Amino acid sequence: MAVKDSQDSLIIRTHDLTRRFGELVAVDRLNLEVARGEIFGLVGPDGAGKTTTLRLLCGLLDPTEGEAWVAGHDVARAADAVKDRIGYMAQRFGLYDDLTVQENMRFYADLFGLSGVKRDELTARLLKMTRMEPFLKRPAGKLSGGMKQKLALMCTLLHHPMILFLDEPTNGVDPVSRRDFWAILYELVQEGVTIFVTTAYLDEAERCNRVGLMHKGRLIRCDSPDLLKKQVEEPCYEVEGADRGRVRDFLQGCEGVVSVEPCGSTLHLFLDPSRTSVLTLTQRLDDRGLGPVHFREIVPSLEDIFIALIRKAGG
């Protein structure tokens, strides 16, 4: 039975959602709210619990503890009602390589009970949206990685889902195809679809309305990308030195250094001003024969923030 949410704007809500596999706690007391019509990104490294969270929300896994509601339905008690309202695109979507783009779409349309004029109209609209019309007769096995993801997305959209769950949809896809894929997602949001996407790409997280940072099964922060960047109190510096590796190894052992990570040819460093300073670190590096080293304060990226939060959490 559908349950009217206490906040009509919410389309996904969890309370202490937990999933264990033996001794492993894959999702640990997750409390999350997602509003209708937003793009929500769940971000974290491999093993953080992102895919398990998605499978719990889609009714593909039963929780060990806690509850989840999707589109007004308790996922554990009304899994079929939830599945009627969502689209789920796994990391390895079940395309048939020997079938053409058109044949794959017709196969999934049949699964959803879609036929005739309605099927043809929706197929034509999806092909135009994804710019896949020229490849209608091409076997799926001969598509590029980006085209396969577009085809998988079209098949997922054939039954007009209210919510689209995407598990690392652009993993291994080239940058141009990633950009095109996100353009399609923005168009879907304009049509009222809610997007819940997992990704390990922090630059993609910047495209989301809100982002949940997940680590070792726990949600460590959740906010808009801009507000997340303001939630780390420590200043961030770009560090340049002749021997980046030795400079990093030395700084990692210095008191007051929260995190120091490679970024291109430089390092990005967060420090605790109450325990150290740029002047102190510069002097210590000079004393060890690692100078000259230059520090420049910068606005941290979302990736910088995530790494710093993990380090502060002891991860």
What are 152-202's pLDDT values in tens digits? Answer: 999 999 988 999 999 998 887 888 888 889 999 999 999 999 999 998 888
Residue recorded with tokens 């091409």:
138
**Mean pLDDT score across all residues of the chain:** 91
Q: Is the pLDDT of residue 245 over 90?
A: yes
Q: What was the pLDDT predicted at 203?
A: 84
> What is the residue-wise DSSP string for the chain?
-B---SSTTEEEEEEEEEEEETTEEEEEEEEEEEETT-EEEEE--TTSSHHHHHHHHTTSS--SEEEEEETTEETTT-HHHHHHHEEEE-SS----TTSBHHHHHHHHHHHTT--HHHHHHHHHHHHHHHT-GGGTTSBGGGS-HHHHHHHHHHHHHTT--SEEEEESTTTT--HHHHHHHHHHHHHHHHTT-EEEEEES-HHHHTTSSEEEEEETTEEEEEE-HHHHTTS--S-EEEEEES-HHHHHHHHHTSTTEEEEEEETTEEEEEE-TTT--HHHHHHHHHHTT---EEEEEEPPPHHHHHHHHHHHTT-
Which of the four pLDDT bands, split at 50, 70 and 90, describes residue 3? very low
Neighbour tally for 231: CB within 10 Å: 12
Q: What was the pLDDT predicted at 312?
A: 77
Residue recorded with tokens 């996904």:
12
Contact 22, 44 (CB under 8 A): no
pTM of the model: 0.86
Q: What was the pLDDT predicted at 314?
A: 64
Percent of the chain residues topping a pLDDT of 70: 97
> Which domains does the chain possess?
10-228 (3.40.50.300), 236-299 (3.30.70.100)
Calpha distance 16→4 (Å, rounded) = 20
Calpha distance 202→41 (Å, rounded) = 10
Average pLDDT of the residues in 277-282: 96
10 Å CB burial of residue 299 (0-12, 13-18, 19+) is exposed
Q: What was the pLDDT predicted at 291?
A: 87
CA-wise closest residue to 212 among 39, 10, 90: 39
Q: Is the pLDDT of residue 4 over 80?
A: no
Calpha distance 278→209 (Å, rounded) = 35
Q: What was the pLDDT predicted at 231?
A: 79
Q: What was the pLDDT predicted at 8?
A: 63
What are 36-92's pLDDT values in tens digits? Answer: 999 999 998 888 999 999 999 999 999 999 999 999 999 999 999 999 999 999 887
Count of residues in the chain:
315
Which residues, 6+ apart, have CB-to-CB distance to 79 below 8 Å? 59
Contact 112, 159 (CB under 8 A): yes
Amino acid type, 278: V
